[in-house]
Structure 1
Amino acid sequence: MSLKVALDKLGYKTYHMIEIIEHNSHHLDLWIELAELHSQGKPYKHVIHTIFENYTAAVDFPAAAWWKEILETFPNSKVILSTRDPERWYNSAKETIFQALWHHRILGLFVPLSRKFTVMVPSLWDKVLGK
């Protein structure tokens, strides 16, 4: 969150997973559509344009999984590569993202929004891990 806060203070409107949760739940459908189109080799840049139409920066997931495609879509963009100790990153992800996914799997039995998260998040991991 620190990079998002810093970019926002510099005047950017920064996209982060929290945006999906708090304001743009319809973006879940767009990220799922992006993954499907990309995996099928179909044009997908229009989806990226739609996702980021009101934003001037992006950090963290889900954007981080799609940085190459975002840079291809917006070739004048700048990329900040932040690095982190892999074990510390995994422990953080385990306590946040993985826990949230577990809760969404349970809630997904009753709540459509949670069901969409259980579709989107694994597609991100597959992309990041090359599966």
Structure 2
Amino acid sequence: MGLRVVGAGFPRTGTTSLKAALERLLGAPCYHMREMFGRPDDAVVWRDACAGVMPDWDRFLAGYAAGVDWPVSWFWRELSAEFPDALVLLSRRESVERWYQSMDQTVLEGARRMMGGDSTRPPTPATLTPEQGRAMGEIMQALFGGAFGDPRDRDKVIAAYERHLAEVRATVPAHRLLEWQPADGWQPLCAALDLPIPDEPFPHENTTADMRARINDMGGQ
């Protein structure tokens, strides 16, 4: 099948909603960070990719029509080269401040715990083997450390987000690039993919409150 859409957006840019929307439009799965918990062997593959050992992407992502969120969007350069006909989807929030506020209350809170910013560390899911659990931790260290340096430093986090947007815009040819934000809904996606707009509301999933509840559950709070 090959990927038809390569997500290039950072977390908390509507990626869970995009996953649901793209699966509705393309009729096939969309890879998202959540996939690793259902496919725990993937953690080792992504860990190796973060270390520079790339998988056979076509084989590894067989059956998926799209991918969004980290770790997929961390490898947007490699994946857009591997799938040259794929749309590169740069999801973002309506403002940098809104993105940071969402990140700060959710994903970054978990990252700070994992990277030593909090005495409470989320437990390794019971479904993971020790090797898979180590790989998951190493992935998070590589992604958050690689992207932000220190996820506790607001200015560094915001600068990394803005730098990432600029890099994608400067690199991807205009005919392959779609910038999208949650308020845009179906229309830009359907136009870029040459598909009809579904006669149903656009999915809006994984609110800040939803994600905070999951983080608190993981931390035993």
Which is greater in Rg?
A: 2
Among 66, 69, 83, the residue aligned to 1:57: 66
Percent identity, aligned pairs only?
Answer: 29
Question: Matched residues in 1 for 2:133 and 2:121: separation?
Answer: 7
Cα pair 2:31 2:68 within 8 Å, conserved: yes
Deviations 1:35-68 (A, max 9, x none): 1125xxxxx252x334312211001111111111
Q: Paired residue for 2:79, among 45, 62, 70?
A: 70
Instruction: Please tell me whether the aligned partners of residues 13 and 55 of structure 1 are also in contact (alpha carbons under 8 angstroms).
Output: yes
Structure having greater relative contact order (Cα 8 Å, sep ≥ 6): 2
Number of aligned positions between the proteins: 123
CA shift for structure 1 position 15: 0.4
The structure with the largest helix share of the pair is 1
| SS of alignment partner, residue 81 of structure 1 | strand
Amino acid corresponding to residue 138 of structure 2 in structure 1: V
What is the one-letter code of the residue matched to 1:64?
A: S
Residue 46 (structure 2) aligned to one of 31, 37, 42: 31
Post-superposition offset of 1:72: 1.0
- Cα distance, 1:45–1:26 mapped onto 2, change above 3 Å: closer
1:20 alignment partner in structure 2: 36
Unaligned runs of 5+ in 1: 39-43
Q: What is the CA-CA distance between 1:125 and the residue it aligns to?
A: 2.7
1:123 aligns with 2:142: yes
Unpaired runs of 5+ residues, structure 2, are 1-15, 115-119, 150-159, 161-221
Q: How far off its partner does 1:122 sit?
A: 2.1
RMSD: 2.8
Cα contact 2:36–2:43 (8 A) shared by 1: yes
Instruction: Determine the C-alpha separation between the residues in 2 that align with 1:83 and 1:106.
Output: 27
Query: 2: CA distance between counterparts of 1:50 and 1:126?
Result: 28
Bigger proportion of residues as strand: 2
SS of equivalent to 2:43:
helix
